[in-house]
Amino acid sequence: MRAGTVVLYTDQPERRADLVAALEGLAPCAVLAAAAPAPPPPVCGLVADLDLLMPAPFLGLRTLIAAAPDLPRVFLMRSMGARSLSAARGLGAGVCLPADTPAATVAEALRAQDPDRGPDRGVPAGGVTRSAAGPAPRSEAAGRGRPLPGAAVVVQAADRAGAVIAGLLDAARATGTVDAALVEGGLDPVLRAVEERGLSAWLDTVRAYDDATYQHCLLVAGLAATFAIDLGFTERDRQRLVRAALVHDVGKARIPLAILNKDGPLDAAERAVMRDHAALGHAILVQAGGFDDTVLAVVRWHHEHLDGSGYPDGLSGNQIGDVVRLVTVCDIYAALVERRPYRAPMPTPEALKILYGMDGKLDMALVRAFDRAVSRT
């Protein structure tokens, strides 16, 4: 790190001795209680560890950052929900990590953003390394070109893809249309994170999101990426599949929030309203333009079943294309293994058993291939 002091700005200083010790390995560490005045310069790095939805500490943190706008910074998030992530991005967060991230990973994520970091420093054991068979890691800290440690790669990718989903849903709610170009920013981060760190790391990270729609879309995208990689898809086809997965539930932007964010299972009337999301999403993307036929088919038909029992159009058999069938498997599995307020994630063996029990509705050849893909991670 450059000369100076690393600031740990926290609302629970008595519980962060491990983090202080890790940061001391980079530079002297000053612990500031939330809303405390900023220390005198020079400050060489910042770790923010507080609830960004609480107004008083948020204002204090903003004052601290304003005094040193180019400061390398890591945010430890009490929630990976949309509001918290939006607040972090508004403060120029270089990396957002869950609050329980190991202290050594936090320290390395901060060090990775240091513009004075020498090329011979490398990434410590457990970090991201160049694959002998693949390209160099592309995940970077705040665009500064510094490789992130392993755990941070996945969180950064989920944050970027989550921002894409947030932008799509916000635009669809506000204007009834979306920008197709926005989706492209989420493709590579998802594919690289899954390829480099595996599906398990992706699932663990995404389950920290407290918004059910964001969590579900990110789960489906990660599962689709895993499936595509395991099936040996070309890079172009992998991107096509992840693109469809990211936007498959865009129609939920037009579903009342009382139904969308309900803490318990939906009743029959609410389920009927929720079913409208597939046709609504298709209409949004058609109006927007710029989405290919594959994406449009997935958005409209990812709830169709081979026996004709699905919705919205009651398609059956060969009327349902291969990519739609593939995303449907990912979508159902994601719904089973995601974290909900009223139930814990279903274990993999149980979720796969349910997929196998849908013979006649799902393509069993794809279910078997999906089983192999997720069981290898």
Domains of the chain, residue spans: 1-114, 159-375
Assigned CATH for 1-114: 3.40.50.2300
Q: Kindly tell me the number of DSSP H helices and DSSP E strands found in the chain.
A: 17, 5
Compute the distance between CA of residue 124 and CA of residue 214 in angstroms, rounded to an integer.
32
Report whether 22 contacts 107 (CB < 8 A). Answer: yes
Place of tokens 């002998």: 132
Compute the distance between CA of residue 162 and CA of residue 353 in angstroms, rounded to an integer.
29
Per-residue confidence (pLDDT) for residue 151, from 0 to 100 = 61
Assigned CATH for 159-375: 1.10.3210.10
Question: How far apart, in Å, are the Cα atoms of 340 and each of 212, 223, 252, 290, 348?
Answer: 7, 18, 17, 33, 16
Q: Give residue 35's pLDDT band: very low, low, confident or very high (50, 70, 90).
A: low
Q: Answer whether residue 269 shows pLDDT above 90.
A: yes
Compute the distance between CA of residue 278 and CA of residue 312 in angstroms, rounded to an integer.
7
Average pLDDT over residues 282-302: 95
Average pLDDT over residues 141-152: 44
Compute the distance between CA of residue 299 and CA of residue 293 in angstroms, rounded to an integer.
10
Report whether 135 contacts 160 (CB < 8 A). Answer: no
Which two three-digit tokens encode residue 133? 């068979």
* Residue pLDDT, tens place only, 165-203: 878 888 888 888 888 888 888 899 899 889 988 998 898
Compute the distance between CA of residue 34 and CA of residue 132 in angstroms, rounded to an integer.
45
**Range name among 36-50, 133-147, 280-294 with the lowest pLDDT average:** 133-147
Per-residue confidence (pLDDT) for residue 148, from 0 to 100 = 45
Q: Answer whether residue 310 shows pLDDT above 80.
A: yes
Burial of 317 (0-12, 13-18, 19+ CB in 10 A): exposed
* Residue pLDDT, tens place only, 69-108: 778 888 888 876 667 777 777 777 767 787 888 888 888 8
Average pLDDT over residues 358-374: 96
**Range name among 144-153, 332-341, 360-369 with the lowest pLDDT average:** 144-153
pLDDT averaged over the chain?
A: 82
Q: Answer whether residue 147 shows pLDDT above 60.
A: no
* Residue pLDDT, tens place only, 209-238: 767 888 899 999 999 999 999 999 999 999
Element (H, E) at 187: helix 187-197
Starting from the edge strand earliest in sequence, which strands make up the sheet with 29-33, in order? 29-33, 5-10, 43-49, 73-77, 95-98
Question: Coil, strand, or helix at residue 46?
Answer: strand
Element (H, E) at 354: helix 348-356
How far separated are the first and last CA of the chain, in Å rounded? 35
Which two three-digit tokens encode residue 137? 């890691």
In sequence order, the β-bridge partners of residue 147 are 140
Q: How many CA atoms lie within 13 A of 246 on its CB side?
A: 31
Per-residue confidence (pLDDT) for residue 54, from 0 to 100 = 72
Per-residue confidence (pLDDT) for residue 128, from 0 to 100 = 27
Residue closest to 244 by CA, chosen among 309, 298, 167: 298
Compute the distance between CA of residue 37 and CA of residue 40 in angstroms, rounded to an integer.
9
Per-residue confidence (pLDDT) for residue 111, from 0 to 100 = 84
Question: Coil, strand, or helix at residue 21?
Answer: helix
